[in-house]
Structure 1
Amino acid sequence: MSALLEARSLTYAYPGGVLALAGLDLSVSRGRKLGILGPNGAGKTTLLLHLNGTLRPASGEIRFDGRTVGYGREALIAWRRRVGLVLQDADDQLFAASVAEDVSFGPLNLGLTDEETRQRVREALAALEIADLADRPTHMLSFGQKKRAAIAGAIAMRPEILLLDEPTAGLDRQGAALLLNELKRLSEAGTTLVFTTHNVDLAWAFADETALFSEGRVIAQGETSDVLSNPSVLAQAQLQPPLLVRLGMVLRDKGLLQGEAGLPRDEAQLLAMVGIGRR
């Protein structure tokens, strides 16, 4: 599968010489969900800021549809129309007086008419199930509502790729499940998703592909079922296999797994594979 977005040999250091990216390579395939995992300081967030042009590498390049991107004003505007970014802390992204005003900011900057902007705002709020919050002041939202409002602002731009930094961080189990369902719908509608996370169980259940980071480099990238079931590769990124992988391997060794479907990707699959819940 050809790459829609690529990072090639990226290097980047923060002031003081703190190296964040050290010759990093990454490939983002169209229409897929790519999870980026690694310990703190591995360069995950820094990479996302490069993938939408917020940061510019000291060396290396970003390629979109096979072409090297530019950093002039017009090139950046065109780039960010196609690649949206949602930061980990929604307070860093929400600034308007109300949710609807905040979501409308991007479309208005694209030069859309007021009616086109209102339509995009309605669609984005409905997609994230926060239409009832349109007139709510952003500072009066809950943490989970702020996350969804920030994502609504990004998808109102109708990007081809949506980058999300730790999208479920700070959410309770129910809030995380609701958000992931909404992201799944976006994916099914054709949006390519790239997200960072510390949670191997989340990546195992949600990501089509996984990239493992360590010391500013991608040390492995491939199908999630392959990457996250490889203990030796995970150890290099200071991670352990997901719980369902460990359970599945134990059950397989004991001959308790049914069928040839591989390891279970969620709780329902696990129960079905051991024959629980069937009538």
Structure 2
Amino acid sequence: MIQAQDLHYTFPGEVPALQGLDLTIQRGRSLAILGPNGAGKSTLFLHLNGTLRPARGRVLLQGQPVGYTRRDLTAWRSRVALVLQDPDDQLFAATVAEDVSFGPLNLGLSEAQARARVAEALEALGLTDLAHRPTHMLSGGQKKRAAIAGAVAMHPDVLLLDEPTAGLDLAASEQLMAHLRHLAAKGMTLVFSTHDIELAWTLADEVALFKDGRVTGQGPAEALLTDAAALAQVGLRPPVLVDLWLAARDLGLKTEAPPRDAAAFRAMMAGWGQPTR
């Protein structure tokens, strides 16, 4: 769906951000981007929707190099939507519905078409009852979902989410993840950066590991997130469920693949060690 090829970018003051970064985003998959602060995750996102232009390298959308004219950028951003880490940087309209309608109306849709998209996006993110609430009166989790709804209303092919659960409590984070799983199940391509390896384990189909403006590894989540050596290179360790699965396997549990969530782990452990009849 999207390819980043040999991207280079340096911030003012000769601060390198991307140093020959290569990344492939496949249609219909959920890709988690993991790495320490300063690894280039947010900078990459700003390249993937045309906000920043690489000093060297290129971005391809369905195999074609993207353009940077106003017309090209409008078409590009209608297909690749970015949700920033801080929703206050994105929400600006008086009410949730007005904010979500901004993108569809700027695509040239009629009011009736825009209303239909707004209703669809609000329902998908569980915000229908908050449609007329002022955006400044939303909780942190509600603001996150409102910002995502504004992106979803554009009907993008790819949804980029920069640290989607940052600043959220456990309940708000779990609610947001449920809505993202719903979008993924409907076929939307999700790309999200995170410091939370547990989130990546439960949500991602694929993982890309970032360090010093480069991708050190990309592949299936089950492979990379169980590779302690690869994770150690970017300052991470395997998810807790993987550690528990490995310990149980060492104690004699017969299982081929680690569980992807707590419910699957409980099901795997059910009856283990009980006497057979």
2:89 match: 92
Deviation of 1:115 after TM superposition, in Å, equals 0.7
1:92-145 Cα distance to aligned partner (Å, 9 max, x none): 000011111110110111001111111111111111111111111111111011
* Superposed structure 1 runs of 4+ greater than 3 Å apart: none
Cα distance in structure 2, aligned partners of 1:81 and 1:266: 33
1:206 match: 203
The total of aligned residue pairs comes to 273
Which residues in structure 2 correspond to 1:165-244 (within 5 Å)? 165-244=162-241
Q: What's the secondary structure of 1:60's corresponding residue? A: strand
TM-score, reference length from structure 2 = 0.96
1:164-209 Cα distance to aligned partner (Å, 9 max, x none): 0011111111111111111111111111000000011110111000
The amino acid of 1:275's aligned partner reads A
Q: State which drifts further: 189-198 or 173-182.
A: 173-182
Cα distance in structure 2, aligned partners of 1:60 and 1:139: 40
Aligned-pair RMSD on alpha carbons?
A: 1.2
Any conservation in 2 of the 1:37–1:210 contact (CA below 8 Å)? yes
Deviation of 1:250 after TM superposition, in Å, equals 1.1
Any conservation in 1 of the 2:249–2:255 contact (CA below 8 Å)? no
Aligned match of 1:18 in 10, 15, 18? 15
Deviation of 1:259 after TM superposition, in Å, equals 3.4
Deviation of 1:276 after TM superposition, in Å, equals 4.9
1:39-78 Cα distance to aligned partner (Å, 9 max, x none): 0000001111111111111100000111110101111011
2:161 is the alignment partner of 1:164: yes
2:78 match: 81
Any conservation in 1 of the 2:40–2:212 contact (CA below 8 Å)? yes
The amino acid of 2:250's aligned partner reads D
- Unpaired segments ≥5 residues, structure 1: none
Q: What's the secondary structure of 2:171's corresponding residue? A: helix
Cα distance in structure 1, aligned partners of 2:165 and 2:202: 13
Deviation of 1:215 after TM superposition, in Å, equals 0.4
Percent sequence identity is 60
Aligned match of 1:128 in 125, 130, 148? 125
Q: State which drifts further: 199-208 or 264-273.
A: 264-273
The amino acid of 1:154's aligned partner reads A
Any conservation in 2 of the 1:125–1:134 contact (CA below 8 Å)? yes
Cα distance in structure 1, aligned partners of 2:224 and 2:85: 25
Q: State which drifts further: 131-140 or 155-164.
A: 131-140
Cα distance in structure 2, aligned partners of 1:30 and 1:120: 22
The amino acid of 1:35's aligned partner reads A
